[in-house]
Structure 1
Amino acid sequence: MLPDSLWRIIRIGSAGLVLAAAAAGLVLGDAWLWVAVEWSPPAFAGFYARGGFGTATVVALVVAALVKAALLWLILRAPAPGLLDRRARALRLLLYLAVAYALVLWFPIALLPDAVDAAFQLALWAAIDVLYLLVIRWRSRVLRAAAGAIFAVELAGMADDLLDELDLPELGSGGVVGLCLMLGGVAATLITLVGQRRDGRWSRGTQAAGWVSVGVYVLVIPLNVRFAMIPSGGDLAIPVLMDALGLVSTVWIAATARELPTEGRPADLPPARRRVIRVAAAAVALLPVIAMIHPEQTPHFAYTGWSANCYDRPSFGDLKPAERDAAFLCRARNTDGGVPPMFPDSLSDQQVLAYGRALCRTKDREEQEAILTRAGSARPAWGADPWDLVYVCPEIVGATHPELLRSTAETKAANDAYVAERNAECRDPWPRTKGVVQATANYFLFADGDPGYLVYDPQDEAADEAAERATDKSFDDSALIGVAGSAVLVGHVEDVADLCLTVKAFRTPPPRRTAGWDQVDEVPVVSRSGRLIVPEMGEGGEVGAGAPMPNLAIAGKGRYRVRVHVRVGELGEEHLIVVFPGASRKRLKLRP
């Protein structure tokens, strides 16, 4: 065992080195200050704060240096003299190994694969927990059994981390299981503190360090959640201070190892030191509450554009009144597609909602732009859309856009009714000649213009390429129809959003029926899979046939002819598609 004088030199040297290095870091720059206080490579500083440290981070690093120097002074105290049996000696060595890992060994081990680190931690604490059960005088079989069960949960959490690093199935597949494993460490500390108190060997100062370490663990959870939700922008003050406070658990582990041979309860601490310990414990207990309290001018963020609750986009009619403000906040801070949000992060929820209601009362885009400019929006010229504003002022938006007040079910029912109504307006233009398969429906195009619709083989390996080439040819040739392999693109004459479409398939060429049609063309197409279809409007879609369309390749794989009839009359634009087997590759213009 090292003599007390050497331990004193180590304590003075270590604490003094931290303070001197921190002072030098203030002069030499952020990277040196980071290394001096955080004991990690300067590259880490560049990763966390690429634009340099802010004033708050520099102050936090200086405070952290003082805290770490004080905690190092407590950690590096000489072990208490006294005899130790084989188990207690092994426990002391392992506890000091854990202290060495927390102070210096973590970095060389971090250079190895993460699975090595996880395996080392699991092996180390499995041995320590077993020795805790054997060395601590629990004075109760029930308490010892409870400690064993809690230690098992702690080790299961470490094993879960190891399985994760090895890409093996994890233990914590459910949320409850994962939470239990996460809390296993703090529960193990609590049960160990109970055992230390019943044993009587450990001083009040050691037990106080253990209780403060539990408080630090509880403090880390809300602060991590709070400061992970809002980007720090290079401000690392809170993480730096949390890292410094994390050494409290190392103080407790070192004190536990140091006082192992002490027999009987140590003398009480002086009153002044007991008061300091009580103040420290009270501060740790209150810090989580204080950290969550902010002045009135500090923005409060219940929802951001990337919050979990914002991924769903419910319709207005699906939400309860109390949920509508949150839906607007999600949309107002949405950054999908890399676009800037409607409002900046400097505004609180209450301010965003107030600006949203002001936007509802505007008369034109100019007034909206003025309000958004005043709010500091990065895109004021875009204004605000009624489908976003309906959540904060349904009575105003609903007066001009009643469809936005519907629920998902109501919207679907209205859309289905509209499609059925449009389909009912279309009639078979060749009713006396029945195809082997046929269908009549309204074909919906994009409202802002669509080149037309396809008759194609969707299972052809080159289906997308064929469709693209057919579309290009319809433009290149200034023709109504573009043909490319397994795809035929049929354009429309007028600038329409929908048209009436009838498709019929025959086993043999039907009579050429050109009377009453403005244009009739016949082109070749090939089906490589035995399918030829016209796209249908999918669930929630806006483009496609409004009713099921049959497979027009009734003879299976092979070559077909597609005869396209087009006219514009009282019913609007009508199309008749006739498909039948045919080996000819000629393109015919039958009318005009």
Structure 2
Amino acid sequence: MPSDGLWRIIRIGTVGLFIAAVGAGLVAGDSWLWVAVEWSPPAYAGFYTPGDFFAPGGFDTATTVALLVAAPVKAALLWLILRTPMPGALDRREKALRRLLYLAVAYALVLGYPIEMLPDAVDAAFQFALWAAIDVLYLLVIRWHSRVLRAAAGVMFAIGLAGMADDLLDELDLPQLGSGAVLEAVLMLGGVAATVLTLVGQRRDGRWSRGTQAAGWLSLSTVALVLPLNLFFARLPVDTAAVLVVMDAIALVGTVWLAATAREMPARKMPADSRPADLPPARRHATRIAAAAVATLPVIALVHPEQTPHLNYTGWSMGCYDRPRFGDLKPAQRDAAFLCRARSTEGGVTPMFPDSLSDQQVLAYGRALCRAKDRDEQQAILTRAGSARPAWGADPWDLVYVCPEIIGVTHPELLRSAAEERAAEASYVAEQNAKCPDPWPRTRGVVQATATYFLFADGDAGYLVYDPDDEAAEEAVERATDRAYDGGTLVGVAGSAALVGHIEDIIDLCLTVKAFRTAPPRRTAGWDQVTEVPIVSRSGTLTVPEKEGGDVGAGAPMPNLAIAGKGRYRLRVYVRLGDAGEEHLVVVFPGASRKRLTLKR
């Protein structure tokens, strides 16, 4: 351990640095104040505040007040945590317990964030190993003066470790110890009972001061504060960041207790002649076996038998929110991806399989579905499995995860990774764009573009030429769509939006857009329909939606056609059926006329 002088330097320097950082945060702004008080990156605040954390408004009043109140409280608690350890002789077990308690304190103060940057399973394994060692040493170091009390503490410690083991199994994607609100309540109450028994043991031991025991009881009382605080803040117009700051400050009381327990380990030692004699080797060996059994047997006892279904993955499991493609998954991850889809209730749909089936049974049925010859056979398999929607069958994009060797033969595109899919999509769009020529190659607009416009495969009203930055854009689009349908016209227009329809039932068309400073010649020869309508740009923008990661839109970036800024424009639409399919030419130029002209039909 560091010397007393060095320890005092660390204590004064740390608390002084904290106070200086808070002062600097008050000057530098909300993000720095958050870092100084909460000891976490400013991006963490984004999880608890609506909108952009770096918005000009910053935190609301309640969050700022909570940070300013929490700062002196945390400074005082930090001063207590960093008190110099009491001198005195310690045996091997007591030295180990003191070091592990200080490691737990370091985790709470500084190590937690860097460890959280590692995979979640690493953090869960570290905490399980740390507290398993601390609990066993608690049983061996504290003088309980009662076998019943020691045994009860061992049972409660084991229940708490079972909860941590359950979290570790979850992070490792292994069968968990169980699920449900009842088990969670038992594990939580077991942790509270373990703390109570530890405090009783400290009192009976006599080494630890009343202040240390008071810190322990206060740390326990923070559990009872969670519900009232949540209810209190729920009644106020504040963000949950304020609650987070308050609870984070209160949680340091538990760290004070751990640090004080380590600090006073040598205090109030029993006289040497009154200490119990060392146990014989056989008894020491038996004690170690018993301590190991207390830590592991409850975990083994809570594991479900094989006939009980383990639902590691449901539609709401944390690992199911991402929907990775087959090519991005390792072989060991593909079964889990299928389980996520097979039990998904996304969109309010009924899951493919009931919860009464285990993961292994669902996977077996999934592979059977892969081998089915048609939908009727799939329906029979799902009926046998107890599915609530057997008539739906199973889709290849779900089954590919359990039988890629079968699905990949008929749907090789499903085997791609996300990067391969993006490359294939970009190649396809470029190929389609290349099929569309510019119908006015010698008439250059101020801005122009030619691309394929992709429509919905099951029928689409057409495409928009509109002002996306207009505050009334949605209303304008809705009215333009109604006018196109109700009037049976090629172009429906309303204010800053125009919906351009198509002649044939198609899934894509060739689109060229050009903007001019003055009206170009009409040149209606060779076109089937030519329509000119008024349109307005209230923000200085008129454009056509681009296909960006979706299925609908232009296959290339579309320019801003409102080249004269805000104001009124004329929109002329040319349509014809040619060798390239259905071709559209959209011409935009400034014009105050509000007349609708049918130049050719």
2:429 and 2:555 in contact (8 A); partners too: yes
For structure 1, which segment, 482-491 or 344-353, has the greater mean C-alpha deviation from structure 2 after superposition?
344-353
Match of 1:220 among 163, 182, 199: 163
Q: 1:391 to 1:206 in 2, by over 3 A?
A: closer
Cα drift, residue 204 of structure 1: 6.8
TM-superposition CA deviations, 1:281-328 (whole Å, max 9, x none): 565333344235433322234433333332222222233333322221
Q: 1:221 to 1:312 in 2, by over 3 A?
A: same
| Distance (Å, rounded) in 2 between the aligned partners of 1:123 and 1:291 | 44
Equivalence for 2:348:
338
Paired residue type of 1:420: A
| Distance (Å, rounded) in 1 between the aligned partners of 2:331 and 2:423 | 23
| Distance (Å, rounded) in 1 between the aligned partners of 2:276 and 2:333 | 58
Equivalence for 1:352:
362
1:223 and 1:288 in contact (8 A); partners too: no
| Distance (Å, rounded) in 2 between the aligned partners of 1:407 and 1:196 | 56
Equivalence for 2:477:
467
Paired residue type of 1:588: L
SS of residue paired to 1:567 = strand
Equivalence for 2:569:
560
Equivalence for 1:430:
440
Number of equivalences: 458
Equivalence for 2:196:
250
Paired residue type of 2:512: T
| Distance (Å, rounded) in 2 between the aligned partners of 1:247 and 1:185 | 15
2:343 and 2:352 in contact (8 A); partners too: yes
Equivalence for 2:376:
366
Alignment pair present for 1:265 and 2:275: yes
Cα drift, residue 252 of structure 1: 4.4
2:157 and 2:190 in contact (8 A); partners too: no
SS of residue paired to 2:576 = strand
Alignment pair present for 1:580 and 2:523: no
Paired residue type of 1:477: G
| Distance (Å, rounded) in 2 between the aligned partners of 1:296 and 1:144 | 42
1:470 and 1:488 in contact (8 A); partners too: yes
For structure 1, which segment, 495-504 or 355-364, has the greater mean C-alpha deviation from structure 2 after superposition?
355-364
1:202 and 1:256 in contact (8 A); partners too: no
| Distance (Å, rounded) in 1 between the aligned partners of 2:77 and 2:422 | 60
Paired residue type of 1:552: L
SS of residue paired to 2:480 = helix
| Distance (Å, rounded) in 1 between the aligned partners of 2:464 and 2:410 | 36
| Distance (Å, rounded) in 1 between the aligned partners of 2:155 and 2:546 | 66
Cα drift, residue 243 of structure 1: 3.0
Alignment pair present for 1:414 and 2:421: no
Paired residue type of 1:321: P
SS of residue paired to 1:580 = strand
How do 1:531-550 residues align onto structure 2 when only pairs under 5 Å count? 531-538=541-548, 540-550=549-559
User: Structure 2: 5+ residue runs without aligned partners?
Assistant: 1-65, 207-267
Equivalence for 1:42:
none
TM-superposition CA deviations, 1:258-300 (whole Å, max 9, x none): 353975235999xxx9999999756533334423543332223
Equivalence for 1:571:
580
1:457 and 1:487 in contact (8 A); partners too: yes
Q: 1:472 to 1:196 in 2, by over 3 A?
A: same
TM-superposition CA deviations, 1:414-459 (whole Å, max 9, x none): 2222212211111122223222222211111011111111111111
Paired residue type of 2:189: D
1:518 and 1:591 in contact (8 A); partners too: yes
How do 1:427-506 residues align onto structure 2 when only pairs under 5 Å count? 427-506=437-516
| Distance (Å, rounded) in 2 between the aligned partners of 1:205 and 1:268 | 21
| Distance (Å, rounded) in 2 between the aligned partners of 1:194 and 1:283 | 14
Q: 1:185 to 1:462 in 2, by over 3 A?
A: same
SS of residue paired to 1:499 = strand
| Distance (Å, rounded) in 1 between the aligned partners of 2:196 and 2:79 | 17
TM-superposition CA deviations, 1:78-123 (whole Å, max 9, x none): xxxxxxxxxxxxxxxxxxxxxxxxxxxxxxxxxxx9xx9xx99999
| Distance (Å, rounded) in 2 between the aligned partners of 1:208 and 1:567 | 88
Q: 1:216 to 1:258 in 2, by over 3 A?
A: same
2:142 and 2:205 in contact (8 A); partners too: no
Cα drift, residue 226 of structure 1: 7.0
SS of residue paired to 2:483 = helix
| Distance (Å, rounded) in 1 between the aligned partners of 2:442 and 2:108 | 77
- C-alpha RMSD of the superposition: 4.3
TM-superposition CA deviations, 1:43-79 (whole Å, max 9, x none): xxxxxxxxxxxxxxxxxxxxxxxxxxxxxxxxxxxxx
Cα drift, residue 127 of structure 1: 8.0
**TM-score, length-normalised on structure 1?**
0.66
| Distance (Å, rounded) in 1 between the aligned partners of 2:302 and 2:364 | 23
Cα drift, residue 353 of structure 1: 1.3
Alignment pair present for 1:315 and 2:325: yes
For structure 1, which segment, 389-398 or 306-315, has the greater mean C-alpha deviation from structure 2 after superposition?
306-315
Cα drift, residue 216 of structure 1: 3.9
Cα drift, residue 158 of structure 1: 7.4
1:203 and 1:266 in contact (8 A); partners too: no
Which has more radius of gyration?
Answer: 1
1:305 and 1:330 in contact (8 A); partners too: yes
Equivalence for 1:6:
none
How do 1:22-61 residues align onto structure 2 when only pairs under 5 Å count? none
SS of residue paired to 1:475 = helix
Q: 1:282 to 1:439 in 2, by over 3 A?
A: closer
Q: 1:524 to 1:173 in 2, by over 3 A?
A: farther
Percent identical among aligned pairs is 61
Cα drift, residue 577 of structure 1: 0.7
Match of 2:534 among 499, 504, 524: 524
For structure 1, which segment, 437-446 or 394-403, has the greater mean C-alpha deviation from structure 2 after superposition?
394-403
| Distance (Å, rounded) in 2 between the aligned partners of 1:541 and 1:241 | 46
| Distance (Å, rounded) in 2 between the aligned partners of 1:176 and 1:430 | 57
